[in-house]
Structure 1
C-alpha cells in the first residue's frame, strides 16, 4: 500500500547527492513517507543513479529532460491519486530531525488541504525551499507548481498560494537542511551555475511575475473553493 506522503526529488548529474540524501533519509524518516528520484534519460550520470537507487531500493523514475519544475509537475500529476500528500526535496536537501516526515504529514492531516515546510537553515521561514502539500491541491490546479518556471521562483508560488488560503505551516524545529553554496555547505557545480545564471533567473522571474499578475488570483480562488467544499 502506498505511503500517505511521497517525496519527489528531481535530480541531474548528482547521483552522489542521492546517496548522501538516502543516508540522511534513513536516519530520520519514518514509515510515513516514500522517496522517488526523477532522473533524465539523457543524463551522462544515469548509470550512477541506477546503481545508487538500485542498491538502496529507492524508486527511480526516468524520463525526458524537462527541467526541475516541469518534471516535478509531471510526476506529481502521475502520483496524486495514490498518495494523500506530495512533497519536494532538492537533491541538496538533508532531513536532520527524527520523524520529520511524520511531522509534515500530521500537520497536513490537521489542515485537511494545505502546505507545510520545515527549517532549511538558509531561507528558514522566508521561503519554503522544500515542502509538502496535500494532493488535492495538485489535482485542483493541475500542477504542483502552477507557473511554468524551470527551477527558480517555485518556492515563491507555494508561499503565495499557502498564504492566500491561510493553509501553510512553517515548522521551525523540523530541520531539513539546504546544503547550498550560498550557505557554504555545498560546492558550486555546473547545475548551480546553470540554474542561477542571470539569464535563467530573469526568465523564471518573468514567468513568475506574469503568473502572479494574471493567474494567481484565479488559482487562489480555486483553492478557496476546494477548502470550502472540504469543510
Structure 2
C-alpha cells in the first residue's frame, strides 16, 4: 500500500485521468497512489479503462474502481476510502481531489504526510480560489475514516463536503492549512474551465439547496459525535 491514496470521483471526463497522472508524475515525491472511482453506468466507462492503461506510462500508480449506479460524488469517495481504510495494509493517509484539481507544488504529498505526522487529522493546501476558507481538496489520517465510518457524510451528494471537513477539523483542533502548497482547482467559477454538463448538474440551485439542508440537518444531529470520533482517531494516529 502507498503512504497516501488520493481518491478522485469522476464522471464523463476520462481525459482527466491522463492529466492528473502527468501532474502526479511531475509533483509527487512520496509513495502516493491515484484512484479514480467512476459509476458503472458512465457512458465513458470504456474510455476511462483505456485512459487508465495509457496513464501508466506517465505515472505507474493509477487505479480505477467502479461504484454501482446511481451514485454520487460522495458515495464514490466513500467507496474508495472505506475499501482502503479497512483493507489488509491501509495507507497512512487518504486524500480527496476532484478531477479538476491539479497539484502544482513539487513534494505536495510529502508535505501533506509530514503535516499529518505533526498534527494527525486533516490537511489541505491552497487551491488558488478558496485558499484557507475551504478545503476543496484534502488528505486525512486513515484512522479518521475508520472512526467515522466514512470520509464524507453519506447524507451529502456533492456540495458542503469541504464545509464539513473544515468545521469538524476546527472543532477537533486537528486541521492544518499549508498556504505554500498549491493544489490548483481548475474550475469555471474562476474562468479556468468551461461549464460542461457535469459542472452544470452539480452546481444547479436544486443541488445547492438539497445539500445545504442535508448539511445543516446532519451537523445539528451529529456534530458533537463526529468531533469526538475525530479526536479519538487523531490520538490513535499520533501514537
Smaller-chain TM-score bracket: over 0.9
Aligned positions, number: 229
User: Which residue matches 1:177?
Assistant: 184
2:149 maps to which of 111, 123, 142: 142
2:159 maps to which of 139, 142, 152: 152
Q: Tell me if the contact between 2:9 and 2:76 (Cα under 8 Å) persists in the aligned partners.
A: yes
RMSD of equivalent CA atoms: 1.3
Structure 1's unaligned 5+ residue stretches are: none
Report the Cα distance in structure 2 between the residues aligned to 1:147 and 1:211, rounded to whole angstroms.
Answer: 10
Q: Secondary structure at the match of 1:212?
A: helix
Report the Cα distance in structure 1 between the residues aligned to 2:8 and 2:235, rounded to whole angstroms.
Answer: 31
Report the Cα distance in structure 2 between the residues aligned to 1:228 and 1:59, rounded to whole angstroms.
Answer: 30
Give TM-score scaled by structure 2 length.
0.92
Note the C-alpha offset of 1:53: 0.4
Do residues 95 (structure 1) and 103 (structure 2) align? Answer: yes
1:228–1:30 CA distance, 2 compared to 1 (3 A): closer
User: Which residue matches 2:59?
Assistant: none
Note the C-alpha offset of 1:171: 0.5
Q: Secondary structure at the match of 1:220?
A: helix
Deviations 1:81-135 (CA, angstroms, capped at 9, x unpaired): 4111100010000000001111001111122x30000000000000000000001
Report the Cα distance in structure 2 between the residues aligned to 1:191 and 1:142, rounded to whole angstroms.
Answer: 28
Do residues 60 (structure 1) and 64 (structure 2) align? Answer: yes
Q: Tell me if the contact between 1:32 and 1:105 (Cα under 8 Å) persists in the aligned partners.
A: no
Report the Cα distance in structure 2 between the residues aligned to 1:174 and 1:75, rounded to whole angstroms.
Answer: 24
Give TM-score scaled by structure 1 length.
0.95
Note the C-alpha offset of 1:228: 4.8
Structure 2's unaligned 5+ residue stretches are: 57-61
Q: Tell me if the contact between 2:147 and 2:229 (Cα under 8 Å) persists in the aligned partners.
A: yes
Superposed counterparts of 1:64-213, under 5 Å: 64-65=68-69, 66-81=71-86, 82-111=90-119, 113-146=120-153, 148-213=155-220
Q: Tell me if the contact between 2:100 and 2:187 (Cα under 8 Å) persists in the aligned partners.
A: yes
